[in-house]
């Protein structure tokens, strides 16, 4: 059986978990934290998530894992059939990762452990986020999904990108992203209102204590 390695508090892990659940692919969830020998054994970067396929291949990088699932399990597609439309879905995923998730992630140590951050860095992060948000506003239709009437991998990707970006923006930057992205609120509500999203969110909450203990342990190393 396919194994997803990672931990349910991780937004990247949850992108892949949501895709697996959406497609109805049987999988085992192996809870393992970043940079541990167990994680390094399945992902040379030591990051969550990683996957061992049914053939035993070890793969990592969330977008690669979602692409793999689509190729290996084409039922219940998460990408449109048309090449241009597929590329547009991937474009939204890439923009979400590079220009929304990654800049926001830089403020996770401040959010989780009150690590101080210089104004220069805050300004840099605001600037990259602004470009990411502008791109999202240009490319996404929110009608009701990001690229139209069908849910795609971009919707799943952005849901878990926004879980970090909105937390950081609200609490560290005092910036309400729902006012910046028309359509975000209704889309977020739609995305949250499924059994799959509810399961992923409940598993995340159930993992919070163990994850925070892992983070606290990092500070002592
Ligand atoms: N580009 C990677 C990012 C994965 C990532 O950053 N995962 C976090 C957990 S949410 C992690 O493992 N962080 C610890 C580390 O980077 O050592 C992906 O798309 O899978």
Residue with tokens 């895709």: 19
Tell me which of 77, 92, 108 is where a domain ends: 77
* 218 domain-assigned: no
- CATH number of the domain residue 51 falls in: 3.40.30.10
- CATH number of the domain residue 112 falls in: 1.20.1050.10
- Do residues 97 and 57 share a domain? no
Look up the domain containing 43 and give its range: 2-77
* 176 domain-assigned: yes
- Do residues 107 and 71 share a domain? no
Q: What is the whole-number distance in angstroms between the Cα of residue 166 and the centre of ligand 1?
A: 18
Residue with tokens 């390695």: 5
Count of structural domains, the chain = 2
Q: 218 pLDDT band (50/70/90 cuts)?
A: confident
Q: What is the whole-number distance in angstroms between the Cα of residue 14 and the centre of ligand 1?
A: 11
CA-to-CA separations, 58 to 72, 78, 112, in angstroms, rounded? 14, 22, 30
DSSP code for 148:
B
Report d(CA 46, CA 189) in Å as an integer.
33
Is the sign of the CA dihedral 39, 44, 45, 50 positive or negative? negative
Give the model confidence (pLDDT) of 66-113 as tens digits. Answer: 999 999 999 999 999 999 999 999 999 999 999 999 999 999 999 988
Report d(CA 156, CA 150) in Å as an integer.
12
What SS3 class is residue 145?
Answer: strand
- Do residues 53 and 20 share a domain? yes
Report d(CA 92, CA 20) in Å as an integer.
20
For residue 9, the ligand 1 atom closest to its alpha carbon is 10
- Do residues 113 and 162 share a domain? yes
Hey, whose CA ends up nearest to atom 10 of ligand 1?
A: 10
Give the model confidence (pLDDT) of 124-163 as tens digits. Answer: 999 999 999 999 999 999 999 999 999 999 999 999 999 9
CA-to-CA separations, 43 to 11, 18, 72, 129, in angstroms, rounded? 17, 20, 20, 28
């Amino acid at each position: 059986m396919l194994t997803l390695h990672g931990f349910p508090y991780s937004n990247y892990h949850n992108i892949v978990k949501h895709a697996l659940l959406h497609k109805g692919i049987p999988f085992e969830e192996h809870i393992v934290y970043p940079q541990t020998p167990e994680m390094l054994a399945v992902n040379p970067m030591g990051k969550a998530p990683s996957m061992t396929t049914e053939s035993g291949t070890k793969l990592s990088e969330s977008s690669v894992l979602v692409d793999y699932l689509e190729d290996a399990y084409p039922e219940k597609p998460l990408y449109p059939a048309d090449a241009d439309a597929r590329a547009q879905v991937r474009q939204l995923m890439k923009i979400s990762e590079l220009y929304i998730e990654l800049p926001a992630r830089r403020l996770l140590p401040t959010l989780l452990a009150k690590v101080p951050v210089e104004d220069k860095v805050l300004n840099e992060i605001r600037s990259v986020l602004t470009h990411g948000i502008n791109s999202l506003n240009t490319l996404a239709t929110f009608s009701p999904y990001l690229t139209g009437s069908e849910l795609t991998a971009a919707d799943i990707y952005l849901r878990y990108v926004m879980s970090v970006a909105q937390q950081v923006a609200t609490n560290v930057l005092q910036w309400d992203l729902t006012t910046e992205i028309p359509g975000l609120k209704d889309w977020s509500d739609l995305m949250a209102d499924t059994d799959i999203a509810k399961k992923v969110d409940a598993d995340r909450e159930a993992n919070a204590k163990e994850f925070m203990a892992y983070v606290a342990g990092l500070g002592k190393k």
